[in-house]
Amino acid sequence: MNKVIKLIACILLPLIIGGISGFLTVSEISGWYTALNKPSFNPPNYLFGPVWTVLYLLMGVSLFLVLEAKINSKRNALVFFFVQLTLNFFWSIIFFKEHQVALALADIAALWFCILMTIVTFYKISRVAGLLQIPYLLWVSFATLLNASIFYLN
């Protein structure tokens, strides 16, 4: 596969997964989510789309770098990457669509762990790929605190 096509596919994968999840839950943001008690540090809703878009782009580039690395043992790294992508997809559905704040908190805790393991395993293959995942871990750390606060306040 041409490297440019592979790069585009790697970038599109998380963007599409995130886009589908967002599409399935967007109606709940202006309804159910608005009515929740939220902590004072809750960011404005318009911030989430641009932040997630950048994070998905970084995830895609990171995935590309790992796939292109001349190392045979990528299995664990790719498993962690795809597990975290799956957990990411379902968090929005669990939280926004199903209104299951506690279950979403469990999901995001597992997501956080899988992102950390993705960073560790990606870094062993490509330092840049591992480092590109750090903003994602930081944002999910913040989102975990936000999820926990919403659980506590409601």
Domain ranges of the chain: 3-153
Q: Is the confidence at residue 28, as pLDDT, over 90?
A: no
Cα-based angle 93, 48, 54 (whole degrees, multiple of 5): 105
What pLDDT score does 29 carry?
A: 84
Instruction: Kindly report whether the global pTM for this prediction surpasses the value 0.75.
Output: yes
Average confidence score pLDDT of the chain: 96
Residue-wise pLDDT tens digits, 68-108: 999 888 999 999 999 999 999 999 999 999 999 999 999 99
Confidence of residue 30 (pLDDT cuts 50, 70, 90): confident
Cα(58)–Cα(64) distance, integer angstroms: 10
Confidence of residue 27 (pLDDT cuts 50, 70, 90): confident
Cα(25)–Cα(145) distance, integer angstroms: 20
Determine the topology of domain 3-153 in CATH. Ferritin (1.20.1260)
Residue-wise pLDDT tens digits, 7-17: 999 999 999 99
What pLDDT score does 129 carry?
A: 98
Contacts of 126 (CB under 8 A, 6+ apart): 62, 65, 66, 69
Across residues 10-29, what is the average pLDDT? 94
